[in-house]
Amino acid sequence: MLNDGLFKVAVIILLASILFFSSALVTTRLILKGEIVTVPDLRGKTPEEARMELNRRLLSLVVQTTDYHDEIEKGRIIRQDPPAASKVRANRTVRVVLSAGSELVDIPDLTNKSLENAIQILAASGLVRGLMAQIHSPQYPAGRVISQRPKPEAGRVKRMTPINLLISQGEREEKYVMPDLIGKKAEVVIPQLKNLGFNVANIRSSYYPGLSSGIIIKQSPPHGYCVQKRNLISLEVSR
Question: Is 140 in the same domain as 196?
Answer: no
Residues 56 and 67 in one domain: yes
- The answer on 145 and 111 residing in a single domain is yes
pLDDT value of position 166: 97
Asked if pLDDT for residue 40 goes beyond 50, the answer is: yes
30 within some domain: no
Q: Cβ atoms within 10 A of the Cβ of 133, count? A: 10
Q: Find, among 170, 177, 171, 216, the residue nearest to 198 by Cα.
A: 177
The answer to the question of residue 87 being in a domain is yes
Give the C-alpha separation, 46 to 144, whole Å: 43
The reply to whether 28 falls in a domain is no
**What CATH number should be reported for the domain holding residue 83?**
3.30.10.20
Residue 157 lies in a domain: yes
Residues 90 and 127 in one domain: no
Please write the tens of the pLDDT for every residue from 144-197: 999 999 999 998 998 899 999 999 999 888 889 999 999 999 999 999 999 999
Residues 44, 58 within the same domain: yes
Spatial CA neighbour of 225 closest among 177, 186, 166: 177
SS3 for 138? coil
Q: Looking at the domain assignment, is residue 11 inside a domain?
A: no
Are 91 and 108 in a shared domain?
A: no
In this structure, the answer to whether residues 108 and 145 fall within a common structural domain is yes
Q: What is the DSSP letter of 118?
A: H
Counted domains in the chain: 3
Q: Please provide residue 109's backbone torsions phi and psi, each rounded to the nearest 5 degrees.
A: -90, 115
Q: Is the per-residue pLDDT at 23 higher than 70?
A: no
Q: Is a pLDDT exceeding 80 seen at residue 28?
A: no
- Cβ burial of 110 (10 Å; 0-12, 13-18, 19+) is buried
| Residue 73, domain extent | 37-101
Among 150, 168, 186, where does a domain finish? Answer: 168
Cross-strand pairs, 93: 60
